[in-house]
Structure 1
Amino acid sequence: MTETTRIPVRGTDGYDVLVGRGLTSAIADALGSGVRKLLVIHQPSLGARADALREALSGRVEVLLAEVPDGESAKRVEVAAFCWGILGQADFTRSDAVLGFGGGAVTDLAGFVAATWLRGVALIQVPTTVLGMVDAAVGGKTGINTAEGKNLVGSFYAPRAVVADLDHLDTLPRNEILAGFAEVAKAGFIAVPEILDILEADPAQATDPTTPQFRRVIELAIGLKADVVSEDFTEAGRREILNYGHTLGHAIEHAERYQWRHGAAVAVGMVYAAELARLAGRLSDAAVDRHRSVLGSLGLPMEYPAGRWQSLLATMRRDKKARGALLRFIVLDDIGKPTVLQGPEDQLLFAAYQEIAS
C-alpha cells in the first residue's frame, strides 16, 4: 500500500478525504464502532467489487447492496425511492450508514439518500472515477435531477469521510479518465495554475493513473475543493467559483438527455465562459487560447451546434445559480482570478456562443 494523503475539509461537520491505494481498511475505520448496518449503493459495472467490499466489511457491519442504473439515470426520484425502500425494509436506524460506491452520479444519489433517510444518517463516499474523486464526492453537495434540469432537488450534506482509492482507476476506460480531467483542468483555471503546467508539460503522463504526475494533479484538485468548501459549505460566497463552465455545461447535459459525459459538457462550458469574459473585456486572448490548448490536449470537445442556443438559454435561466431573472456566470479576469458576471446582456451571451458554435 502506498502512503495515504489526508486532505481535511474543515468546518462544523469536518471530515477527511483520503487519497492512496488499498484503502478498504480506511472505510471500516471511517464507519467507526456504532454502525450496525451499511447500504452500499453502486452501479452495475461495480457489482463484483461491491461484493468484495461486502466480504471485506462483513466482520464489522451487516452490508446490503443496492444496484442502481449507470450515469445520470441513477439520479431520479424513483431510484432514490428504491433505496429508501431497502433502508425501510431492513430497519435502518439513525445509527446506520450509507456508502456511495461509483462515479459522480452514484455519489450524488447516495448522498441524497443518506441526507433524507430519517433526516440524515452517516455517509461514506468511495468514488471510483476521476470526476467523483476531484469533484462530485467532495464537498457535501447531493442531488437528483428533474425533467426541468440537473441537480434542482438536493441538499448540502457532509459525509463522514471520502475514500479516494486510486486502485479503482487502473481499469477505468481512457475516455472516462479524460472526461474527469475537465474538472481537474477547471481547478487549474480558477485557482491552481500548477495543474495547468503539469498538463501542458506532458498530457499523457498527467492522465496516466500510475504516474506521480497524475496523483499530484488529483491531490491538487481535491485540495482546492476542500479549501473552498471549508470556507463556504453552502455556496453562499466563494464556493460559486467551482461552477466555472457549469452554467452552459449543465444546459448541454440537459439538452443531450444526459448522454454526454459531464466533463465533456463542462469543457464546452469553460470555453464558452472564457469567450464570454474575453468579449466582456475581462480576459486576454492568450488566456482563452490556453483554455483551448489544455482542453484540446485532453481530447475534450470545445464546440456545440449553432442552432441550439435558444433552448440552452431557456435551460440556463432555470439554473440553480440564477438569481431571479438574472443569469450569473463564473468568469475569469485572468488565470486563477475568478469572478462573477451577473446579468450579461443577451446580445453578449449570443456573441460568445457564436465563438463555440459548430
Structure 2
Amino acid sequence: MMTEHDGNNDDLSGGPVRVVPIALDERSYDILIGPALLDRPATWQGLPKAAAAVIVSNETIAPLFLARVRAQLAPHYARVDAVILSDGERYKDWDSLNRIVDHLLATASDRKTVLFALGGGVVGDMTGFAAAIYMRGVPFVQVPTTLLAQVDSSVGGKTAINHPLGKNMLGAFYQPARVIADLDTLDSLPPRELAAGLAEIIKYGPIADAEFLSWIEANLDALLARDKAALAHAVQRSCEIKAWVVGQDERESGLRAILNFGHTFGHAIETGLGYGEWLHGEAVGCGMVLASDLSVRLGLMPPEFLTRMRKLIERAGLPVRAPRLGVERYLELMRVDKKSEGGEIRFVVIEGLGRAGMRGAPDALVAEVLDAYCD
C-alpha cells in the first residue's frame, strides 16, 4: 500500500516522500507524506487545472505557511486568493462556512476553482464541506498541518461542521484530489496539539493492527520528541490502515465505523463541555479509555487490555478521566451520535486485539463505566 520516491526531480529533495494511495475508482487520490513537501514543486504538479485557487486557513496557521503555499500555487493558477478564518473548534460552524462561500460567490469563482485546506481538522472539514456544496462540487486539496489532521481527518473524505446539539452532524462525504502531509509543519505544534494527534494514531492499533499498537508503545517517547523517522512511520501506517478501511466502506455503512473507537464518548464530552474546551484528540483519548472499559465489562477483552490502554493514553499526555456531566446527560448526547440506530447507542468496542466491532450496551452498564471514570 506504500511506495517511496526520493524527490530527485524536485528543487529541494528534503528526504523520501511516502505515497499512500486511497483506492476509490474515479475518486482515488494519493496521500503524500514527508519533510519539506510545501517547498517542493513536484508536490503541486498534476492537480486540477483552473483559473483560480482559494487557500482556506486560519489566523494561527496562515502567518506560518500561507506565503509558501501561495508561492508554489502561483505558477499554476492565474489568481490565488486566501480566506482566513478564526481558529478553534467553536468556529466550525455555519458562519465560518459562509465566509468561505461568500468569498467564492463575491469573486465569481466557477466550478473548476480549486480550494486548498491549509490547517488542522477544523479547516479541513469546513473547506471540504464548502467544496462539496459550492456549485454542487468543486475540487479541493488537503494540506494538513496538525498531527491529528495528517493521520485522520484529512483522509477519507468526511467533511462537516458542528451543530450546538451534536458534533459533525452537518456534512458530506467528499474526497479531496490530494493530501499533502508535510512533516515539517508539525514542528509548529504546541505540545498539547501534538498529544491530541497521538490519540488518533493510538486508536489504529487496537482496532486493526496489534503489532502497530506495540510499536507505538515502544516508540511513544520518540513521537513525543518529534523524531521525524518515528513520525513518518506513524503517519504512514495510520494512513495505510485508514486507506484500507475507507477503500472497503467509503460512506460508513459498516466497517468504517470502527475508525470511531472512543469517539462516541469523546463527542459527548466535546458537545457537553462546549466545543473547544477539550481538544478533539483529548476527548477521543479519554473516550478510548471508557470504550476499553466497556469492552471489558461486555466480556470481550481481559482487564489487562484496559490497563494497557489507560497507561499508554496517559503516557501520551492525554486525559484518562472524563468530566462529570451526569450520566443522563451523557446518554442524551450519545443518542444523537451518528452511529445510533432507533435511539439505541452503538459503541465501537474491541472484540480482540486488532479487531473492533459495533455493539449496543445496556444503559446501566454504560452508567457503570461513566461512574468509574468521571470526575
Q: TM-score range by the shorter chain?
A: over 0.9
- In structure 2, the residue matched to 1:142 is 159
Quick one: which amino acid aligns to residue 44 of structure 1?
E
Task: Give, in angstroms, the shift of residue 46 of structure 1.
Answer: 1.7
Matched, 1:57 2:53: no
Identity %: 35
Task: Give, in angstroms, the shift of residue 308 of structure 1.
Answer: 2.5
Q: Which runs of 5+ in 2 are unaligned?
A: 1-13
Residues 88 and 307 (structure 1 numbering): CA distance in 2 closer, same or farther, change over 3 Å? closer
CA distance in 1, matches of 2:288, 2:45: 38
Which of 15, 18, 23 aligns to 1:10? It is 23
Residues 341 and 39 (structure 1 numbering): CA distance in 2 closer, same or farther, change over 3 Å? same
Matched, 1:277 2:292: no
Matched, 1:333 2:351: yes
Of 42-51 and 231-240, deviating more is 42-51
Aligned residue for 1:332, secondary structure, equals strand
- In structure 2, the residue matched to 1:196 is 213
Aligned residue for 1:160, secondary structure, equals coil
Quick one: which amino acid aligns to residue 233 of structure 1?
E
Task: Give, in angstroms, the shift of residue 307 of structure 1.
Answer: 5.0
CA distance in 2, matches of 1:282, 1:4: 40
- Contact in 1 for aligned 2:272/2:325 (Cα 8 Å): no
Aligned residue for 1:340, secondary structure, equals strand
- In structure 1, the residue matched to 2:90 is 73
- In structure 2, the residue matched to 1:286 is 304
RMSD of aligned Cα (Å): 1.3
Task: Give, in angstroms, the shift of residue 30 of structure 1.
Answer: 4.3
Which of 100, 103, 114 aligns to 1:83? It is 100
- Contact in 1 for aligned 2:23/2:29 (Cα 8 Å): yes
CA distance in 2, matches of 1:192, 1:207: 21
Q: Deviations 1:208-239 (Å, cap 9, x if unpaired)?
A: 33332221112111110111111110001110
Task: Give, in angstroms, the shift of residue 289 of structure 1.
Answer: 0.9
- Contact in 2 for aligned 1:7/1:18 (Cα 8 Å): yes
CA distance in 2, matches of 1:45, 1:325: 39
CA distance in 2, matches of 1:334, 1:303: 24
Which of 109, 118, 130 aligns to 1:101? It is 118
- In structure 2, the residue matched to 1:304 is 322
- Contact in 2 for aligned 1:207/1:214 (Cα 8 Å): no
Q: Deviations 1:105-136 (Å, cap 9, x if unpaired)?
A: 11000000000100000010000000000000
Q: Which runs of 5+ in 1 are unaligned?
A: none
CA distance in 2, matches of 1:210, 1:297: 17
> Under a length normalisation based on structure 1, what TM-score does the superposition of the two structures give?
0.96
Task: Give, in angstroms, the shift of residue 324 of structure 1.
Answer: 1.4
Task: Give, in angstroms, the shift of residue 321 of structure 1.
Answer: 1.2
CA distance in 2, matches of 1:135, 1:80: 21
CA distance in 2, matches of 1:98, 1:307: 39
- In structure 2, the residue matched to 1:318 is 336
- In structure 1, the residue matched to 2:37 is 23
Alignment of 1:149-168 (within 5 A): 149-168=166-185
Q: Deviations 1:157-177 (Å, cap 9, x if unpaired)?
A: 000000001110112112111
Quick one: which amino acid aligns to residue 351 of structure 1?
E
- Contact in 2 for aligned 1:189/1:336 (Cα 8 Å): yes
Count of matched residue positions in the alignment of Structure 1 and Structure 2: 356
Aligned residue for 1:6, secondary structure, equals strand
- In structure 1, the residue matched to 2:137 is 120
Aligned residue for 1:17, secondary structure, equals strand
CA distance in 2, matches of 1:309, 1:267: 19
Quick one: which amino acid aligns to residue 336 of structure 2?
R
CA distance in 2, matches of 1:357, 1:107: 31
Which of 28, 31, 40 aligns to 2:55? It is 40
Residues 298 and 92 (structure 1 numbering): CA distance in 2 closer, same or farther, change over 3 Å? same
CA distance in 2, matches of 1:357, 1:74: 27
CA distance in 2, matches of 1:59, 1:339: 48
Q: Deviations 1:12-68 (Å, cap 9, x if unpaired)?
A: 311111101222324421424x22111111011122211231123212111110011
Matched, 1:210 2:232: no
> Under a length normalisation based on structure 2, what TM-score does the superposition of the two structures give?
0.92
- Contact in 1 for aligned 2:219/2:230 (Cα 8 Å): no
CA distance in 2, matches of 1:198, 1:279: 27
Task: Give, in angstroms, the shift of residue 354 of structure 1.
Answer: 1.9
Aligned residue for 1:301, secondary structure, equals coil
- Contact in 1 for aligned 2:154/2:179 (Cα 8 Å): yes
- Contact in 1 for aligned 2:59/2:85 (Cα 8 Å): yes
Aligned residue for 2:55, secondary structure, equals strand
Matched, 1:185 2:202: yes
- Contact in 2 for aligned 1:198/1:217 (Cα 8 Å): no
Q: Deviations 1:144-187 (Å, cap 9, x if unpaired)?
A: 01111110000000000000011101121121111110000001
